[in-house]
Chains A and B, each alone.
Chain A
Amino acid sequence: MSKSRLLLALAVPAMLIVTPLAAKTLVFCSEGSPENFYPGINTTGTSFDANSQIYSRIVDFERGTTKVIPGLAEKWDISADGTVYTFHLRKGVKWHSNANFKPTRDLNADDIIFAIERQWKESNPYFKVTSSNHSYFNDMGMPKLLKSVDKVDDYTVKITLNAAEAPFLSDLAMEYAGIQSKEYADAMLKAGTPEKLDQEPIGSGPFMLVQYQKDAIIRYKAFPQFWGGKAKIDDLIFAITPDASVRWAKLQKGECHVMPYPNPADLDAIRKDPNVTVLEQPGLNIGYLAYNTTKKPFDDVRVRKAFNMAMNKQAIIDAVYLSTGVAATNPIPPTMWSYNKSIKDDPYNPEAAKKLLAEAGYPNGLETDLWAMPVQRPYNPNAKRIAELMQADLAKIGVKAEIKSFEWGEYRKRAQAGEHQMAQLGWTGDNGDPDNFLNTLLGCSAAKSNGSNIAKFCYQPFEDLVQKAKSVSDQAERTALYEKAQVIFKEQAPWFTIAHSVQLKPVRKEVVDFKLSPFGRHTFYGVDIK
Chain B
Amino acid sequence: MFRFVLTRVTLIVPTFIGITLLVFVLIRLIPGDPIETMAGERGLDAALHERLLQEYGLDRPVLVQYWFYLLRLLHGDLGRSIVTHKPVIEEFASLFPATVELSLCAILFALCLGLPAGIIAAVRRNSIFDHGVMGVSLTGYSMPIFWWGLLLILLFSVQLGWTPVSGRISVLYFVQPVTGFLLIDTLLSGESGAFTSALSHLVLPTIVLGTVPLAVIARMTRSAMLEVLGEDYIRTARAKGLSNFRVIAIHALRNALIPIVTVIGLQVGLLFTGAILTETIFSWPGVGKWLIEGINRRDYPILQGGTLLIGAIIMTVNLLVDVTYGMINPRIRRPR
**Contact residue range for chain B?**
35 or more
**What A residues does B36 contact at CB under 8 A?**
409, 413
Contact mask A177-209 → B, CB, 8 Å, 1/0? 000000000000000000100110000000000
Stretch at the interface among A67-75, A240-248, A346-354: A240-248
B42-69, CB < 8 A from A: 42-43, 45-46, 48, 51-52, 55
* A43–B39 CB distance below 8 A: yes
Asked whether, in the complex, the Cβ of B166 is within 8 Å of the Cβ of A19, the reply is: no
Chain B interface helix/strand/loop/mixed: loop
List which A134-175 residues lie within 8 A (CB) of chain B.
135, 138-139
Q: Flag whether A509 is at the interface (Cβ < 8 A).
A: no
Flag the segment in B20-28, B106-114, B150-158, B225-233 that touches A.
B150-158
Q: CB-CB contacts of A3-25 with B at 8 A, as 1s and 0s?
A: 00000001101110111110001
* Minimal beta-carbon separation of A225 from chain B (angstroms): 22
Q: How far is the CA of A240 from the CA of B284 in the complex (A)?
A: 9
- Looking at the complex, which one of B31, B32, B171, B283 makes contact with A215 (CB distance below 8 Å)? B283
Contacts of B173 in A (CB 8 A): 18
The docked-state distance in angstroms from the alpha carbon of A217 to that of B43 is 31
In the complex formed, the residue of A with least CB distance to B55 is A132
Contact residues in B for A370 (Cβ distance below 8 Å): none
Instruction: Return the contact of A246 from the options B175, B191, B281 (Cβ within 8 A).
Output: B281
The residue that A239 contacts in the complex, of B83, B167, B289, with Cβ under 8 A, is B167
B:92-110 near A, CB below 8 Å: 94-95, 98
User: Would you call A255 and B94 a contact (CB within 8 A)?
Assistant: no
Evaluate contact between A427 and B41: CB separation under 8 angstroms: yes
Asked if residues A409 and B52 are in contact (CB atoms below 8 Å), the reply is no
Q: How far is it, in angstroms, between the C-alpha of A240 and the C-alpha of B153 when the chains are bound?
A: 17
Given contacts A10-B188, A138-B48, contact A219 B41 (CB under 8 A): no
Q: How many angstroms between the C-alpha atoms of A240 and B191 in the bound complex? A: 24
- Cβ-closest chain A residue relative to B177: A213
| Given known contacts A19-B174, A216-B168, A249 and B43 CB-to-CB distance under 8 angstroms | no
A-B contact pairs, 17 of them (CB 8 A): A15-B190, A21-B172, A21-B174, A43-B40, A135-B38, A138-B48, A199-B86, A214-B84, A214-B94, A215-B290, A240-B285, A246-B150, A249-B158, A249-B166, A255-B167, A255-B171, A409-B31
Residues of A within 8 A of B (CB): 10-11, 13-15, 17-21, 25, 27, 32, 35-36, 43, 128, 130-133, 135, 138-139, 195, 198-199, 210-211, 213-217, 219, 237, 239-243, 245-246, 249-250, 252-253, 255, 377, 407-410, 412-413, 416, 425-428, 440, 450, 452
Q: A18-B173, A246-B281, A413-B43 are in contact. List 16 more A-B contacts (CB 8 A).
A: A14-B189, A21-B174, A36-B84, A36-B85, A132-B51, A133-B35, A133-B38, A135-B38, A139-B42, A213-B177, A215-B285, A216-B283, A246-B150, A249-B165, A252-B158, A428-B40
**Chain A to chain B: the 9 pairs with minimum beta-carbon distance, closest first:** A409-B36, A215-B285, A407-B31, A216-B285, A409-B32, A14-B188, A14-B189, A17-B176, A241-B283
